[in-house]
Chains A and B, each alone.
Chain A
Amino acid sequence: MIHVILIVFIITLFYLSIANRMLTYVKVLALQGVLLFFVAFLQLSEINTLNLIFILLETIVFKAIAVPLFLGYLLKRNNITREAEPFLPNFVSLIITTAIVVATILLSNSILDSHLDKMFFVVALSTLFTGLYFIASRRKIITHVMGYMVIENGVFVLSMAVGNEMPMMVNLGVMLDIFASVLILGIFLNKIGDVFKDVDVDQLTNLKDY
């Protein structure tokens, strides 16, 4: 069952790579939060109940509801609907995402380690690299933030791979989630939307060396 959910998680990455509308990104992020909720529920069977409830609450409340709602609010306030001019066409994006997933599968097959659950490793690494690819290939700042959220979901999957032996790792991952998202989204809430009307990275080039 866990494997099915993780495969669905990978499929969401393919979907993200060809999505055009910003609202689709937000919905996929919410879906990933729900998927992570089920993965955590099924995988973390050996940790104590209170901790499990905390982790589950974080995935469902924070990842699946609060952050997508907030991103949706930002989109509405700044009138952003489409991802304007990505650096690469969607077809190439899809090919690159596929290549990332295939490469991580090959990489994980070359690792001989009985301690490692390969499924988690493949999903986590491919999510991580896909998120980095999103950041590198999109123009809008808000898409960069979403790419960062994808990276964090990947890190969360990875932390669950060792979660039963070291529950502290999952808790730290949760902390990273809350901390970094509050920090990054806080800046958005604060000013960036007002100062940079069309939030494009091309406008963040005034700080230079000469």
Chain B
Amino acid sequence: MTLPSNLTDCELLQLMLSGNEEAFTALYRLRHINVYQFALHMGGSRTLAEDVTQEVFMILIREGRLYDQSRGSLSAYLCGIARNLLLRRLERDKVYVPIAEDGDECAETFDQFVAEGDPLRELTHNETIELVRQAVLSLPARYREVVVLCDLQEMSYIEAANILGCAIGTIRSRLHRARSLLLDKLKAAEIRKSGAEPGTESGIEKCNTKRCFA
């Protein structure tokens, strides 16, 4: 039996809870990217992101009946679960020092150097992406999650507030602070890259985002 294509998340969830595997697959294909991307940007690791995605959908299979439509979208509900799992995992893994893995990670690194068009441009592009990624990953979790949701996943303030369980004003202020931190980090990284010491007078001047409160 083929499912109609115009089913909503809730309808798919109901079908899934009644044992329809096709509905589960459809729901997974619709919503897993959000969850995976969120986990990837928050954790910075594909393995972790896959684990979290799998765990989120396992929870949906087991406890999908607990979802309350009136409290937000299913996507927000899943991201909320992912967030809780991630924060728990990150807290647990804080004591471990990451080491570079061989195999896939190496292949990934080499891939960066395989330029198809302009090699210099490609390299700069990859560097920029890596720089931003590292800057995002170095943010404190409460700021990182807002940047991931609002800037990287382009969610509205309301959706982000639903997922994080806080007020829209809190989202706005956190985003504001997070972006300031990001700008400072990116500038500092650029200075390091160009050879200037961040501790020097010119480095400090460049690192701090200027604001005028006239």
Same assembly: no
